[in-house]
Structure 1
Amino acid sequence: MQDKLTLMIPGPTPVPETVLKEIGRHPIGHRSSEFQNLVQRTTEQLKWLHQTTNEVLVLTGSGTAAMEAGIINTLSKGDKVLCGENGKFGERWVKVAKAYGLDVKVIKEEWGKPLDPTKFKNELENDKKKEIRAVIITHSETSTGVINDLKTISEYVHRYGNALIIVDCVTSLGACNVPMDEWELDVVASGSQKGYMIPPGLSFVAMSKRAWKAYERSDLPKFYLDLGPYKSTSLKNSNPFTPAVNLYFGLEKSLNMMQEEGLANIFNRHSRHRSAIQAAMHAIKLPLFAAEEHGSPSITAIEPQFINAEELRKTVLNRYDILLAGGQDHLKGKVFRIGHLGFVNDRDILTVIAAIEGTLDALRLHKTNPGAGMAAAARILA
């Protein structure tokens, strides 16, 4: 049957019908007063979501554009930085930092393990000349389903040095608590196709006062991603370039929905869905790739021992029109990932668990009583 595909991946995530209808409106002029009013409203909503009084700038681009912008607008060539790497996206920020000539020290953990905050503490504490300019980390490591201890790492950054903390919050913002001001985060980057519940195309960069001060000394090359013009035009409810106007329509609608639900309820929903998936996988003997206590509220990685993960994923897609994410790099065929981020409800969670159990039954690989996973998840959701 056509048009029944269900996305259970870390992005793009499902989009509410009301948001799609808003995006389908006729475009308006991006220099019109109507659009400026829209920018003003969504800017205040974005501050609410980020839990900050700082400006949240909107770029037309992906989450990678937002992270690259955060790095190149606050640092200079040769600056020393610490970069956390425990998955595919941590690796990406190391590559970006090196591409711009930064002096990178990698704080590395095995894929599936969380970053160790004490390693950052030790590096910062031993930096007697305070030469480390930034700590760059991923909060929710999408490739492995691990959530890193951002709060503690940020505390160490501010306690032991003068470094900025630059954070990839692409799959954590809108799924778990990321209080920018309270945790003294300097750069927070995110993307529209995740917790924001709209299609890909917009990215967001929030900068602290410390980050803007660092911007003044930054000498890395930039033009389209130069955040200075974005800030000056944002104060006039505008944009230095042509923005994705129709995505702004959807953004306002999705942020309205998020405000109606409330931050605490959003965070609790994602946490509950993570717990339900974890309980179901335990019940049907599919091991979690990341330790349960370090699981991301956005995505869960599973490492089946008795079936190729790609075979299971493809069977779920072919039989049930549900798209799961595969493993990346050396994890391909070894893990599959269930996204539970954004516009996902209890029914979606039960449906994907039933599809996985049905697939195991069809392949004669179910290790427990049929329905064990559903029952375990239902107890959590109840």
Structure 2
Amino acid sequence: MLQDQQYLRIPGPTPIPPSVQRAMAQPMIGHRGNETSELLRSIKPRLNKVFGTDQDVLIVTGSGTSGLEAAVVNAVKPLDEVLVIVTGAFGARFVAICEAYGIRVHKYEVEWGKAFDTHEIKEHLRNLPNVTAVFATYCETSTGVLNPIHELAAAVKEVSDALVIVDGVSCVGGVETRMDEWGIDILVTGSQKAFMLPAGLMFIAVSERAWDVIRSNPNRGFYLDLVKYRDDLAKDTTPFTPALSILFGLDQALDLMEKEGFENVYARHTLMKKMTRGAFEALEVPLLTNEEDASDTVTAVKPDDFDAEEFRKVIKKEFGLSVAGGQEHLKGKIFRIGHMGYCSPADVLQTLGMMEMGLIKTGKNIELGKGVAAAQRIYLEWGE
């Protein structure tokens, strides 16, 4: 392995395209000058396309978790009741944030590795008439599940006036997202996943219905007060110092996505999911999720005859290949492969080849090349 050669295949942060790296290396500019306002004017309408909304997409310097907290502190008051759908570690994070603000939380827990059922959520919500918000995770990074967010708001609104608030951190930009059409009230994502950027920016969009709730809330915090960001974005500025270098990169990353075409971006992610899953199925290595629930951006593998952590150590040592481990009760039981953002089918084939050799070195008896061949066939059939 070459000393400086690393292959990053975790579900975030993800690799950064060379042109984005060059964009971020531009000389610094004044954050209150005309150049920054021009940059924001360039970025704003293109973020709308990614979110699928006519609403402003607010740009905040912070991590994805800052977006989850912003959604909570702006849209919900202490002692309000909320429903949090927990399908993994990041659904549980919504619970922790709400509890930190004295909000009364009703948890709807789903077995890790499975998506929630919108009909069950609707029936559960019938018995919670005082709930003011429903929190859900679009892609549950910890399990590789893509939840049916496109169905959630319609189901909720049949039985409740609760806001629908969604964590889209590990998939927006890599999967189809239609915030307005689907009726989502608040949608959050971060820069370090499908947007092909370093961590440091959070993006959040808010429906008119949610803005009515937010404006009536006197305790929106200070730094995360979304009204400040909306008012300043209308003037092509930000209330606090923006992460300018990442904004340079965002401008270029959006260019790349537009040139590829958003439908092609989403199709590429679907193809990479199918190639990855097909390879492990051919190698008879179990997957955590079924095909229907599986995310297009991250695949969770649950081996039953070799050690997941030992495998991760082997491929890191031999090839500089990084994949993620499990979280909480899945720690040591699964590994997770990120295939989002600056990642192509060619990258998937290379990754699978390295992992096959890692399986053999870990003691797994496989036919070398069988998984890669399965992925190759999926790629060729997809092209046809």
TM-score greater than 0.5 by the shorter chain: yes
What amino acid is the match of 1:233? D
5 Å-filtered alignment, 1:206-217, equals 206-217=205-216
Determine the structure 2 residue equivalent to 1:57: 58
Q: Choose which of 369, 372, 377 in structure 2 pairs with 1:371.
A: 369
Distance in 2 (alpha carbons) for counterparts of 1:285 and 1:359: 15
SS in 1 for 2:313: helix
**Counterpart check, 1:297 vs 2:296:** yes
| Offset of residue 136 of structure 1 | 0.2
What amino acid is the match of 1:370? L
Contact 1:80 1:103 in 2 (8 A): yes
Structure 1's unaligned 5+ residue stretches are none
5 Å-filtered alignment, 1:172-191, equals 172-191=171-190
What amino acid is the match of 1:89? F
| Offset of residue 377 of structure 1 | 0.4
Determine the structure 2 residue equivalent to 1:380: 378
SS in 1 for 2:53: coil
SS in 1 for 2:266: helix
Over residues 29-55 of structure 1, what are the superposed CA-to-partner deviations in whole Å (9 max), with x where a residue is unaligned? 011111101001101110111111100
What amino acid is the match of 1:155? A
SS in 2 for 1:83: strand
Distance in 2 (alpha carbons) for counterparts of 1:253 and 1:185: 27
Distance in 2 (alpha carbons) for counterparts of 1:154 and 1:311: 42
Cα distance change, pair 280–242 in 1 and its aligned pair in 2 (3 A): same
Determine the structure 2 residue equivalent to 1:157: 156
| Offset of residue 164 of structure 1 | 0.5
Contact 2:43 2:251 in 1 (8 A): yes
| Offset of residue 314 of structure 1 | 1.0
Determine the structure 2 residue equivalent to 1:95: 96
Distance in 2 (alpha carbons) for counterparts of 1:74 and 1:154: 16
Contact 1:39 1:238 in 2 (8 A): yes
Contact 2:215 2:227 in 1 (8 A): no
Determine the structure 1 residue equivalent to 2:318: 319
Size of the alignment, in residue pairs? 379
Distance in 2 (alpha carbons) for counterparts of 1:144 and 1:377: 22
Distance in 2 (alpha carbons) for counterparts of 1:192 and 1:125: 36
Over residues 354-378 of structure 1, what are the superposed CA-to-partner deviations in whole Å (9 max), with x where a residue is unaligned? 11111122334133x2110000000
Distance in 2 (alpha carbons) for counterparts of 1:132 and 1:55: 26
Contact 2:164 2:186 in 1 (8 A): yes
Over residues 154-199 of structure 1, what are the superposed CA-to-partner deviations in whole Å (9 max), with x where a residue is unaligned? 1112222111000000012011111011001110000000010011
Contact 2:314 2:362 in 1 (8 A): no
What amino acid is the match of 1:191? G
**Counterpart check, 1:119 vs 2:117:** no
Aligned-residue Cα RMSD (Å) equals 1.1
| Offset of residue 119 of structure 1 | 2.5
TM-score, normalised relative to structure 1: 0.97
Determine the structure 2 residue equivalent to 1:106: 107
Over residues 74-113 of structure 1, what are the superposed CA-to-partner deviations in whole Å (9 max), with x where a residue is unaligned? 1111111110111110010001011111111101011111
Cα distance change, pair 174–221 in 1 and its aligned pair in 2 (3 A): closer
Q: Please, which moves more after superposition, 115-124 or 102-111?
A: 115-124
Determine the structure 2 residue equivalent to 1:5: 6
5 Å-filtered alignment, 1:15-94, equals 15-94=16-95
Contact 2:310 2:362 in 1 (8 A): no
Identity %: 39
5 Å-filtered alignment, 1:264-303, equals 264-303=263-302
Distance in 1 (alpha carbons) for counterparts of 2:274 and 2:219: 43
| Offset of residue 221 of structure 1 | 4.9
What amino acid is the match of 2:58? L
SS in 2 for 1:264: helix
Distance in 2 (alpha carbons) for counterparts of 1:198 and 1:158: 35
What amino acid is the match of 1:11? G
5 Å-filtered alignment, 1:225-236, equals 225-236=224-235
Distance in 2 (alpha carbons) for counterparts of 1:279 and 1:49: 28
Distance in 2 (alpha carbons) for counterparts of 1:330 and 1:131: 32
SS in 1 for 2:72: helix
| Offset of residue 28 of structure 1 | 0.3
